[in-house]
Chains A and B, each alone.
Chain A
Amino acid sequence: AQTVTQSQPEMSVQEAETVTLSCTYDTSESNYYLFWYKQPPSRQMILVIRQEAYKQQNATENRFSVNFQKAAKSFSLKISDSQLGDTAMYFCAFMKLDSGNEKLTFGTGTRLTIIP
């Protein structure tokens, strides 16, 4: 079974600064996706970014980028030029492919607060 670990329960950073959220995972699979989802106070789950395991290039979406280290099973999220709207819970998630069960396995989340 896969496990996802987020070791930072809470973080805070000044507006406009850069922050990195950590995630590690454990799997014996070779074909999978990794995700970061954001859950603001509205409780909506919003996709931030996706990384395919077969891709060596790190995914980027505007101010959000990941550092994917497959051998180390590490998947961190970097938020640049942080904004007040980035305040949210951030969940790292794993999805195995080709399994007949494409469930998401989530970490416990990191609560990020952007300070004005």
Chain B
Amino acid sequence: DSGVTQTPKHLITATGQRVTLRCSPRSGDLSVYWYQQSLDQGLQFLIQYYNGEERAKGNILERFSAQQFPDLHSELNLSSLELGDSALYFCASSTWTSGYTDTQYFGPGTRLTVL
């Protein structure tokens, strides 16, 4: 158990819908990362938050958005869903050690199926 929690584990929805994925980082970790794992794209970085502020963006679609709340949990919102958004979405968290970001530990993932 990495200490990172994600809910829900599975999500099945229809095209055009909107869903919210939730992540709670390990205790003490200020950084949260979101990754998408799909069969054709592999593991792709989406977005990073540090202590409530967006820190970096990757290949995140405009239909997707995220935020990190004061209690440090994070939510990834996916809207106008398409079949191609079906994937495993991971959240990871890390801390800072001696001025550098440390190892990222992953949650169990949320499997999204868009029908």
Contact = CB atoms under 8 A, between A and B. Distances in A.
A103 B58 contact: yes
Interface stretch (B17-25, B62-70, B77-85, B96-104): B96-104
A24 B88 CA distance: 25
Nearest to A39: B37
Interface residues of A, number: 23
Contacts, number: 56
A45 B58 CA distance: 20
A105 B106 CA distance: 14
Contact of B56 (A47, A98, A100, A108): A100
B100 A35 contact: no
A30 interface: no
B43 interface: yes
Given A35-B103, A45-B90, A102 B48 contact: yes
A108 B111 CA distance: 19
5 contacts: A44-B2, A44-B109, A50-B103, A104-B43, A104-B92
> What 4 pairs between A and B have smallest CB-CB spacing?
A101-B56, A45-B106, A103-B45, A106-B43
